[in-house]
């Protein structure tokens, strides 16, 4: 799952630090790409300390990985990625020469976020509202506790920028979503989208919009 879907899966939730933890692995993935050095939290080795925000952050991170495990093994994931691949093969794409499954995986996750946005924009409004309540020093302190001192302040700043720029709203805009998907697909070693690819992808986006509107959002248990 992606940022907004992870948040939505945990509703109702009002703890900003738990929300930050739930999206933290995806935050760290983006931070690592920009920083050129991989930073990851091992959910089985998290140090929560005694402060409530630290415990909430750790709980959220564990829940992220717990839910992702169920999601990637679910019938919903298998069915939807298969549908995407079938539709790609039925259309005249030139840009998917390698790692189509990886693209289908990421595309599904972004489309789930897009589906939530198109259904109710306030879901994202509320998530960002909670993230605005975070204290940067607390986030930095959590990463110091995880022995990530070299990255603690940078990660805290990255979360602030993520909150300020609100790029998740871009998923509702087809042109911006296309640019995001082009960058992701290029990262898999594929050529940039041609004009024909973009036209075909528009059809694929619209088809998946319709399919996901009729699907029940997947729900999985909470970590214990």
Closest CA to 208 of 67, 74, 81: 81
Category of 49 on φ-ψ map: left (φ > 0), alpha (ψ -120 to 50) or beta:
left
Asked if residue 220 is part of any domain, the answer here is no
pTM for the model stands at: 0.93
In-domain check, residue 88:
yes
What is d(CA 60, CA 55) in angstroms, rounded to the nearest whole number?
9
29 — pLDDT class (breaks 50, 70, 90):
very high
* Structural domain includes residue 223: no
- Write out pLDDT tens, residues 102-147: 999 999 999 999 999 999 999 999 999 999 999 999 999 999 999 9
Distance from C-alpha of 176 to C-alpha of 63, rounded to nearest angstrom:
30
Distance CA 47, CA 53 (A): 12
Per-residue confidence (pLDDT) for residue 46, from 0 to 100: 95
* 55 assigned to some structural domain: yes
For residue 19, being part of any structural domain is answered with: yes
Range of the domain at 64: 3-214
Taking residues 186-213, report their average pLDDT: 95
The answer on pLDDT for 68 being more than 90 is yes
Q: Where are the alpha helices (DSSP H) in the chain?
A: 3-9, 16-35, 52-72, 75-90, 100-119, 122-131, 136-145, 152-165, 174-187, 195-214
Q: Over 60: is that where the pLDDT of 206 sits?
A: yes
Residue 94 located in a structural domain: yes
The phi and psi torsions of 160 (rounded to 5 degrees) equal -60, -45
Q: How many domains does the chain have?
A: 1
């Amino acid at each position: 799952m992606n940022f907004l879907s992870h948040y939505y899966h945990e509703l109702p939730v009002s703890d900003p630090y738990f929300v930050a933890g739930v999206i933290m692995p995806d935050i760290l993935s983006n931070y690592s790409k920009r920083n050129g050095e991989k930073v990851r939290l091992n959910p089985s080795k998290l140090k929560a300390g005694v402060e409530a925000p630290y415990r909430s952050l750790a709980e959220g991170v564990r829940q992220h990985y717990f839910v992702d495990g169920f999601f990637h093994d679910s019938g919903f994931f298998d069915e939807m990625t298969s549908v995407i691949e079938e539709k790609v093969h039925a259309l005249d794409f030139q840009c998917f020469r390698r790692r189509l499954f990886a693209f289908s995986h990421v595309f599904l996750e972004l489309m789930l976020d897009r589906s939530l946005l198109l259904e109710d924009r306030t879901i994202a409004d509320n998530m960002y509202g909670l993230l605005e309540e975070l204290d940067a020093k607390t986030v930095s302190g959590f990463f110091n506790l995880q022995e990530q001192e070299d990255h603690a302040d940078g990660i805290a700043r990255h979360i602030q920028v993520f909150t300020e720029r609100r790029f998740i709203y871009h998923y509702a805009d087809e042109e911006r979503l296309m640019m995001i998907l082009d960058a992701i697909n290029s990262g898999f070693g594929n050529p940039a989208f041609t004009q024909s690819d973009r036209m075909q992808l528009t059809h694929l986006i619209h088809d998946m919009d319709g399919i996901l509107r009729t699907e029940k959002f997947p729900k999985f248990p909470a970590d214990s």
